Amino acid sequence: MKMTITFPGKKKVDAHYKGFTIQTDQPTNEGGDGEAAEPFTLFLASIGTCTGIYILSFLQERKLPTKDLNMTLVFTKNQTTKLIETITINIQTPPSFPQHYQKALKKVAELCTVKRHLDNPPKIDIQINSN
């Protein structure tokens, strides 16, 4: 498996994988054009969207309504390290969501592959190669 990262100019960095290009940029106050999300925003979005697809699939498989389904991620940052310490995922189910499915929905949300990788992080090996 391989993802290619390219540098199209200024503060833009793009990732190419499986035929898709994921564009990133930095805000204007950090020298970017502010034309795409910052990489860390994509990291947070990957947690939310990964969790979301598991939840959505759970509801769809049971033919439960999804019209009023939504989620928010609330995160707190350590003021010293500036790193995220906690992420709380709030799942707002539709009013007609059956109460007896709540525990199962939480279990399904915890299956998110991104979350599971954070629970057991991969080793990241950085190598420098000359062309």
Could you report the per-residue pLDDT of 46-81, keeping only the tens digit for each?
999 999 999 999 999 999 999 999 999 999 999 999
Pairwise CA distance, residues 2 & 91, whole Å? 33
pLDDT band at residue 131 under the 50/70/90 scheme: confident
Phi/psi of residue 107, nearest 5 degrees: -60, -40
Contact at 8 Å (CB) between 21 and 14?
yes
List pLDDT tens digits, range 72-129: 999 999 999 999 999 999 999 988 899 999 999 999 999 999 999 999 999 999 999 9
Residue from 44, 45, 25, 46 nearest 36 by CA? 25
Tell me which of 3.30.300.20, 3.10.129.10, 3.40.50.300, 2.60.120.380 is the CATH number of domain 37-119: 3.30.300.20
Contact at 8 Å (CB) between 100 and 46?
no
Pairwise CA distance, residues 36 & 51, whole Å? 22
Mean pLDDT in residue range 7-17 = 97
pLDDT band at residue 44 under the 50/70/90 scheme: very high
Query: What long-range pairs does 16-19 form, CB within 8 A, spacing at least 24?
Result: none
13 token code pair: 């960095």
31 token code pair: 């020298």
